Amino acid sequence: MHHYPALSEFLGCEAYVKHENHQSIEAFKVRGGINLVAGLSEEERCRRVITASTGNLGQPIAYVARLFGVRAIAAMPEETNPDKVRAMRHLGAEVIFHARTSTKRGSTWSCWRRRKGTATSTPLRCARS
């Protein structure tokens, strides 16, 4: 938590800010990844988790999966920033590439989910399949 005197003065109270981007991997969606993976059964954890991401969700999912000993797959557009690809691989995720269009992305992701029986994570929700 960080205290900002000017913000406190402006709001008329003591204000503290929790910066999600100050997480250990400098990503703000770690909590969602923890909620997804912590809620998996042992059977589900023996499979893997998959996320469709350009990196903002993929990095936290890869990080949390590694903490829990779960394999992670990140389905990413072919044009994804190479630094984000390296970061996810460094965190232990298997990266698969797809075309940028949502139709092709969805078919790549759905194919992996069906074939591998993975738990899934999207930016808007976490679900099990």
Task: Convert the pLDDT of each residue in 83-104 to its tens digit.
Answer: 989 989 999 999 988 777 655 5
How confident is the model at residue 28, as a pLDDT? 64
Q: Confidence band (pLDDT; 50, 70, 90) for 47?
A: confident
Q: What is the largest CA-CA distance in the chain?
A: 56
> Is the predicted pLDDT of residue 125 greater than 50, yes or no?
no
CATH class of domain segment(s) 29-121: alpha beta
What's the residue count for the chain?
Answer: 129
Q: Which phi and psi angles does 71 have, rounded to 5°?
A: -75, 140
More confident residue, 6 or 120: 6
Q: Could you report the per-residue pLDDT of 3-17, keeping only the tens digit for each? A: 999 999 999 999 999
Q: Tell me what the pLDDT averaged over the chain comes to.
A: 79
Domain ranges of the chain: 29-121
How confident is the model at residue 50, as a pLDDT? 84
* pTM for this model (two decimals): 0.67
Q: What does the alpha-carbon distance between residue 56 and residue 94 come to, in Å, rounded to a whole number?
A: 16
Q: For residue 6, count other CB atoms closer than 10 A to its CB.
A: 8
Long-range contacts of the stretch 7-12 (C-beta < 8 A, 24+) = none
Q: Are strands 126-128 and 94-98 parallel, antiparallel or unpaired?
A: unpaired
